[in-house]
Amino acid sequence: MEIVLSHIQAEALMLAQRRNETSATTSLDLGLSTSEVELSNAGVAFQDGQQLPWDQVEEISETKNVCFRLEANELHKIQAFSEETNRFCSLMPTTGAPTLLIAGFPMHRIKNTDPYRDTLTKIKAIAPITGRVLDTTTGLGYTAIQASHTTQDVITVELDPTVLDIARQNPWSKGLFDNPKISQLVGDSSEVITEFQNGAFTHIVHDPPTFSLAGELYSGAFYQELFRVLRRGGRLFHYVGDLDSQLGHRVAKGAIHRLKDAGFVNARPYPQAFGIVATK
């Protein structure tokens, strides 16, 4: 059994210890469910027989930006250096679903929301989502998982195998790997998209990293490919960042201009999801 913990669970366990409690209810999958654990002077004992000494519980509690996996009584940080991108990636806890950190940038909104609610807002921007969906950047798979609830199938593309390795260790990403409606492709979306047929998708969710990390995914040439593979009447959501910030406003203005040049109509800001919606 893999147990995944963050500082949130560790801090609660340490508080129970200070109260001299002999058991506690906590989550072993970052908030998806709860389990009973036993507490002793030696540490925390889990129902599968694994144990975690208090000095390691304290280590987890002091580490705010990384989740930990306990497997065969060995504690591991869920993080890795990507040889594909030369960037450091890690699974960062929040009060809800965890987010992915790449080069220190969170890949979801976490201020006044959490990654799961952030994903729901993006999906709502082009709802109802039916038919066939393209998710241009898999990440932790939240978009693909959510879209699969109402669609026939979802094609999701991820550049970095290291990101997928982290997703496999994330309890919230389980549906990415066991849902038959979701097909995963590994590669650069700006190249992979050229292999799809014209009008192959009814909806596209384009949620790229920040412009400084993936400028090619904001280019006019890529937008032309998005237009080509989208079915007539299909809808696009494009995340660009906080539209009220100077950078977000500038990125959105340029993106809307290039989307219109590519052929999209009704390209307009969608502030609730920090993005743009457009139609073919």
Note the pLDDT tens digit of each residue in 91-144.
999 999 999 999 888 989 888 889 999 999 999 999 999 999 999 999 999 999
Give all domains of the chain, ordered by start, each with its CATH number: 3-76 (no CATH), 111-279 (3.40.50.150)
62 burial via Cβ count (<10 Å: 0-12, 13-18, 19+): exposed
Task: Give the separation between CA 211 and CA 279, rounded to whole angstroms.
Answer: 22
Note the pLDDT tens digit of each residue in 215-260.
899 999 999 999 999 999 999 999 998 888 888 789 999 999 999 9
DSSP letter string over 157-194?
EES-HHHHHHHHT-GGGHHHHH-TTEEEEES-HHHHGG
Note the pLDDT tens digit of each residue in 149-167.
999 899 999 999 999 999 9
Instruction: Name the β-bridge partners of 51.
Output: 45
Strand 153-158 relative to strand 230-239: parallel, antiparallel, unpaired?
unpaired
The helices-and-strands tally (H runs, E runs) of the chain is 9, 18
Average pLDDT, the chain: 95
Q: Average pLDDT, stretch 182-203?
A: 97
Question: Which amino acid, 73?
Answer: N
Q: What is the structure's pLDDT at 215? A: 81
Task: Give the separation between CA 98 and CA 31, rounded to whole angstroms.
Answer: 10
Tell whether pTM > 0.85.
yes
| Confidence band for 275, pLDDT divided at 50, 70 and 90 | very high
**Two tokens, residue 29:** 């999958």
Q: What is the structure's pLDDT at 152? A: 87
Q: What is the structure's pLDDT at 246? A: 87
Note the pLDDT tens digit of each residue in 24-65.
999 999 999 999 999 999 999 999 999 999 999 999 999 999
Task: Give the separation between CA 87 and CA 90, rounded to whole angstroms.
Answer: 10
